[in-house]
Chains A and B, each alone.
Chain A
């Protein structure tokens, strides 16, 4: 799992890539929560996520909940088919705002 952040006028895009599994989700979680703390608008680009498991999904859920509390805009974009299937399996594809 790798990530990087692009910041455009207070709106940040967090690019997650690779496998977000039990081994790597702590790093993804830390990056997500850090972005929610720092920015008013966060887009999580998941186009290069090859694999995500329940711990990765839990990190997204935790970040979403924190974003709602802090009134930070939070959306997922370009979610890879592999990650989208898992979000659907978790019945969370309607909970997140997912954009192309």
Chain B
């Protein structure tokens, strides 16, 4: 290797180093051109890059008597353009003989270009632009083969150095974004409650599938000991979902202080979210209040996954959403969403996001609601915290990423508690609530000295009456509520069911003729056969409510 070659090699490594540490690429272009022009002993040098979707060549660096920095040419114009289009070095000894020569710059500056050498900046089969040098300093000298080879090597080295510098910048920018995401994820994690501060009968987990999560849960223990809790899932994944989640969390914590009733809270939250342009995103959410003193639980579900109740004998009840997700139906005038107000019999209550049931327990196998019930049965002997941790572990661990954000919240009744008389309940008018009503009644009526058959018949009569409200009274109207009061009145059991639906005719309880085999009407026959008295009580009309109906059923003790 000659001393000259060594010099050129040094020049190339110098270019690479300067591009690598460059903060301002334009400065490095100039520096590179100065080195090239010195090494090749030429009067001027310029660097053109393909821009605007490769339609134009723009001069991004220039040294010599004429400054053409910023000059824009069509991508195929001039000798530089020819070099870029062919991907080959172009050597023109006398530009006056070359029809492609772009003479406008000379005309403006008075500079006389004699000869041009232009080499494409090629890398990985792609051309970034070209470097051109003009007029050897020695007027007697013409560009030769060696100049061609040298400029091609230098242009390629510059292309590679520039490309590496660009990739490094992108990597660094990506790393900065990643670090910011890690910080944002940490902030989001801190929005979740610290379960260590909660009573042992409450536990929640939220694991994001990526850095940021669209899920959240919250549990607040009020000064009077009641637990206020919420679980929510924002549609979609990633940063936009996470941002809407943060907004929902903030709104929830703010509203929870002033609107302690779950139905009013969700209606208010819906109005707030509707006022924000959420670009088609929405939030599914369940909010509840649990009073460990009385065992009562109040739940309101807007489009969220069903709430799962598991009693001490392992029987599950699943309560589906009564209302659509938040942020969708904005024109509703409702200031309160329907609520389920129940006595939580000894057992457990689980709220979860769809990342749990749609989570994969094996390749292509979703957990599903049935799978969730099975898993909760299998893990029933574990303390609540370990039970939920193990469940989430089954959906993803160090070796298997989570399919979606996963959030689970569990509440256990702290002591064995059974409903008795008098009994009060309020449920949303949905068929899957009937099982819960039957469970409550079956327990409560055990206070009475009745045979199993009589008790089961009375439970059937109440079930049938509630069905009538769901199917006929509320038919075609948005989901309403059924309120039940069961108490002993002298030597009679009095069951009162109230709704806010349209008024039903007084003949609504007329039983079907016994000879008929038509489906329908059978429920009324059950009610009339089982109960000793069945009648409607007049309700006070209010401005804000439908009149509603109040059905009273009496059974002699």
Q: Is the CB of A54 within 8 A of B467?
A: yes
- Stretch of B100-108, B167-175, B498-506, B520-528 on the interface side: B520-528
| A30 within 8 A of partner (CB) | no
Task: Collect the chain A residues with CB atoms within 8 Å of residue B470's CB.
Answer: 22
Q: How far is the CB of A92 from the nearest CB of chain B, in Å? A: 8
| Contact indicator A65/B517 (Cβ below 8 Å) | yes
A58 to B526, CA, bound (A): 13
Q: How large, as a class, is the contact surface on chain B? A: 20 to 34
Residues B522 and A23 in contact, CB atoms below 8 Å apart: no
Pair A91/B467 contact, Cβ less than 8 Å: no
Q: Are B435 and A23 in contact (CB under 8 A)?
A: yes
Q: Confirm or deny: B471 has a beta carbon within 8 angstroms of a beta carbon on chain A.
A: yes
Give the distance in Å from the alpha carbon of A61 to the alpha carbon of B458 in the complex. Answer: 23
Among the listed B435, B464, B519, which residue makes an inter-chain contact with A62, where contact means beta carbons less than 8 Å apart? B519
What residue of chain B has the Cβ atom nearest to residue A86's Cβ?
A: B460
Contact partners of A90 in chain B: CB under 8 A: 522, 525-526
Residues of chain A with a CB closer than 8 A to B522's CB = 54, 57-58, 90
Contact A53 B519 (CB under 8 A): no
Q: Produce 1/0 per residue, B443-486, CB < 8 A to A.
A: 00000000001001100100110010011000000000000000
| Contacting pair A85 B456 (CB below 8 A) | yes
Q: What are the residues of chain B within 8 A of A89 when measuring CB–CB?
A: 457, 460, 526, 529-530
Task: Let me know if A54 and B523 touch, CB within 8 A.
Answer: yes
B523 to chain A: which residues have CB within 8 Å?
53-55
Closest beta carbon of chain A to B477's beta carbon, Å:
17
Interface class of chain A by DSSP: helix
* A39 sits at the interface (CB 8 A): no
Cα of A89 to Cα of B519 in the assembled complex, Å: 15
B180 interfacial by beta-carbon distance below 8 Å: no
A21 interfacial by beta-carbon distance below 8 Å: yes
Nearest CB of chain A from residue B528's CB, rounded to whole Å: 11
Q: Which of A51, A53, A82 contacts B467 (CB 8 A)?
A: A53
- Given the known interface contacts A21-B463, A53-B460, A90-B525, the answer about A58 and B520 at a Cβ–Cβ threshold of 8 Å is yes
Tell me which residues across on chain B come within 8 A of A54, comparing CB atoms.
Answer: 464, 467, 522-523, 526
Chain A residues near B (Cβ < 8 Å): 19, 21-23, 51, 53-55, 57-59, 61-62, 65, 82, 85-86, 89-91, 95
Which 9 residue pairs across A and B have the least CB separation, nearest first? A58-B519, A23-B431, A54-B523, A54-B522, A22-B431, A23-B432, A22-B467, A21-B434, A61-B519
Q: List 17 A-B contacts (CB under 8 A).
A: A19-B435, A21-B438, A21-B463, A23-B434, A53-B464, A53-B467, A54-B526, A55-B467, A55-B523, A58-B520, A61-B519, A85-B453, A85-B457, A86-B526, A89-B457, A89-B530, A90-B526
